[in-house]
Structure 1
Amino acid sequence: MERVGLIQMTSGPAPELNLSYIKQQVMQLAQQGAELIVTPENALVFGSRSDYHQVAEPLADGPLQKALASIADEYGVWLLIGSMPISRHNGVTTTCLLFSPQGELVCHYDKLHMFDVDVADEHRRYRESETFTPGQQVVDYSTPFAHLGLTICYDVRFPALYSELARLGANVITVPAAFTAVTGRAHWQTLLRARAIETQAWVIAVNQVGTHPCGRETWGHSMVISPWGEVIASLTDQVGNILVDIDLSQVEQLRAAMPIRQHARFSNQLQKD
């Protein structure tokens, strides 16, 4: 069994407050034996375009990333920060960061799909591409206990990404998110269960929750889903954490009993007649 911790947050625009909450929750989960701890999307800053751009740091540099590395090292855990703004030569990306138990930044993933959507809530207009530059690469990473596939929030609506992560061998796929209350109520669990069933992988989905200082409302209901599509554990609509034991042997057993990838009749390589 591998032990995973999920931190559900109501992040705001002040990084120091968000960082303090993350450290507090990591301490609690590490004391209970968590090996991997996952935070939501926009964990370090949740606000306006100017908030993200003001806080953005170069990759593997800056006080926020140094503080996160220190937390991972102090508590001896793999720490996956759902996303924070990273400054690039062509703008700012919203980037997932994976720190080892020694505090080393071993992997990062720039969100591929931008949430440019109109939603029937008070915010109404979401245009993520006006704040962030989209990523260009699918990212997986093998830790000593799991082969991780990295995604962020809106990515969950694009099953081809998840199929590629499964092809690469991922047996745990992480979905840090800031799903709105409206879209979350309608689609959050359905999409997550579908991605788990399709990939025959564990899905670790960690969402923001509640009303944020900027006025946005997020859905919460962070959850862990088995490769069979069962919701093993979940939170509701409050901040907090949850600790879940997952059995990765279920992935191997299911993929052997139901070899979906070998049965697939379509792939990117297929050509039209």
Structure 2
Amino acid sequence: MTRFKAAALQMRSGTDPEKNAETLARLVREAAGHGATYIQTPEMTGAVQKNRKGLMAVLKPEADDIIVKTAAELAREHGIHLHIGSTAIAVDDGMIANRALLFGPQGDILARYDKIHMFDVDLDNGESWRESAVYRPGEKAVLARLPFAAIGLGICYDVRFPDLYNAYGLAGAEVLTAPAAFTKQTGLAHWHVLQRARAIENGAYMISAAQAGTHEDGRETFGHSMIVDPWGKIIAEAGNEGEAAIIAEIDTNAVTAARGKVPNLKNIRAFALEEARALTEV
């Protein structure tokens, strides 16, 4: 059994990575000051920028990125595990990686995860998104086995794909993640349900830091950063606007208890899909 304090940092990142790095540092220090030893930030921590040209103008390779450098320093300064939910990283094919990075207490990168599922949608309110035109999708799920818990890495739209999280659950993940910049429209409809569902299906904690409010580039994000326990109960949640640092105690014994009560991961069975077609009269 392991107990630790986890924090999810809610942000409203703008278009300037240096300013966002300052906000990151302030919120991490706040959460660490309250005893959090695992701290997670939202998707697109470094910059929220719809304009591709504007985004490309401020991007750097991973080794030169200000969020990466700041996160390494903060993890080392506070002796914590710092999970940058994602930040945009310039990659060598002219595309962008939507990349999560997990830093250890020595400031070293323990895990990298590139968002697998691209948000290519047309919403009822006229919003249209084509992440695949800008971002290079990842190809590997990443399970980080840390001293206090095994953590499955995901980003935002990934949360709609239960097979990814089921793979983590079957591999022994005790904490699942979906740091996000959820749109306001989709968040109102689906955010809470998806977070609780992934936790319940896998008998695991779900920790998802989120972007919140109206950003410099005009987009609106849903907020409601949250931590859900393995039984599906929301144990910490932020509001729909502005910055916050929410903290909850994680007890991995609760994972064992939930999976003992409803052992669906053990009860999975292979099956075939059969199509039954009704006969029609001629």
Structure 1 residues 75-94: aligned runs within 5 Å: 75-90=78-93, 91-94=95-98
Which stretch has the larger CA shift, 12-21 or 64-73?
64-73
Q: Which moved more, 1:208-217 or 1:60-69?
A: 60-69
Describe the superposition over 1:172-199 as per-residue Cα deviations: whole angstroms up to 9, x where unpaired. 0111000001000000000111111101
Count of residues paired in the alignment: 269
| Cross-structure match for 1:14 | 16
Of 74, 97, 112 in structure 1, the residue corresponding to residue 77 of structure 2 is 74
TM-score by structure 1 length? Answer: 0.94
1:76–1:102 CA contact under 8 A, matched in 2? yes
How far apart are residue 61 of structure 1 and its match?
4.4
Where structure 1 has 5 or more consecutive residues not aligned to the other structure, the ranges are none
Look up the match of 2:45. 43
**Is 2:158 the partner of 1:155?**
yes
Structure-to-structure mapping, 1:174-193, within 5 angstroms: 174-193=177-196
Task: State the match for 1:261 in structure 2.
Answer: 265
**Structure 1 position 89, deviation (Å):** 2.9
Structure 2 counterpart of 1:7, which letter?
L
Larger Rg: 2
Tell me what 2:115 maps to.
Answer: 111
**What is the letter of the counterpart of residue 6 of structure 1?**
A
Give the residue type in structure 2 aligned to 1:142: R
Query: Percent of aligned positions with the same letter in both sequences?
Result: 42
Provide the C-alpha distance between the structure 2 equivalents of 1:187 and 1:271, rounded to a whole number of angstroms. 30
Question: Which aligned pairs between 1:188-203 and structure 2 lie closer than 5 A?
Answer: 188-203=191-206
Map of 1:213 onto structure 2: 216
With structure 2 as the length reference, what TM-score do the two structures score? Answer: 0.91
In 2: Cα distance, 1:87 partner to 1:102 partner:
25
Report the Cα distance in structure 1 between the residues aligned to 2:125 and 2:42, rounded to whole angstroms.
21
2:47 & 2:184 partners in 1: Cα distance? Answer: 19
* Structure 2: distance between partners of 1:49 and 1:129: 12
Corresponding residue number in structure 1 for 2:99? 95
Tell me the secondary structure at the aligned position of residue 166 of structure 1: helix
Distance 1:136 1:59 in 2: 18
Q: Distance in 2 between matches of 1:121 and 1:16?
A: 32
Matches within 5 A, 1:165-180: 165-180=168-183
Deviates more, 1:48-57 or 1:252-261: 48-57
Q: Does the 8 A contact of 1:53 with 1:85 survive in 2?
A: no
Corresponding residue for residue 57 of structure 1: 60
Q: Secondary structure at the match of 2:178?
A: strand
Where 1:44 maps in the other structure, the secondary structure is coil
- Output the aligned Cα RMSD: 1.6
Name the CA distance, whole Å, in 1 between partners of 2:227 and 2:65: 32
* 1:78 alignment partner AA: H
1:168, CA displacement in angstroms?
1.4
Q: Residues 45 and 51 of structure 1 are in contact (CA less than 8 Å); yes or no, is this contact kept in structure 2? A: no
Report the residue type matching 2:160 in the other structure. Answer: R
Question: After superposition, what is the alpha-carbon deviation per residue over 1:107-164, rounded to whole angstroms, capped at 9, x for unaligned?
Answer: 0100000001112346x11111111010000111011111000000000111000101
SS in 2 for 1:133: coil
Q: Can you list the C-alpha shifts for 1:254-273, whole angstroms capped at 9, x where unaligned?
A: 2133221221123xxx6679
* C-alpha distance in 2 between matches for 1:29 and 1:97: 18
Unaligned stretches of 5+ residues in structure 2: 275-282
61-70 or 203-212: bigger deviation: 61-70
SS in 2 for 1:94: strand
Q: Is the partner of 2:13 in helix, strand or coil? A: coil
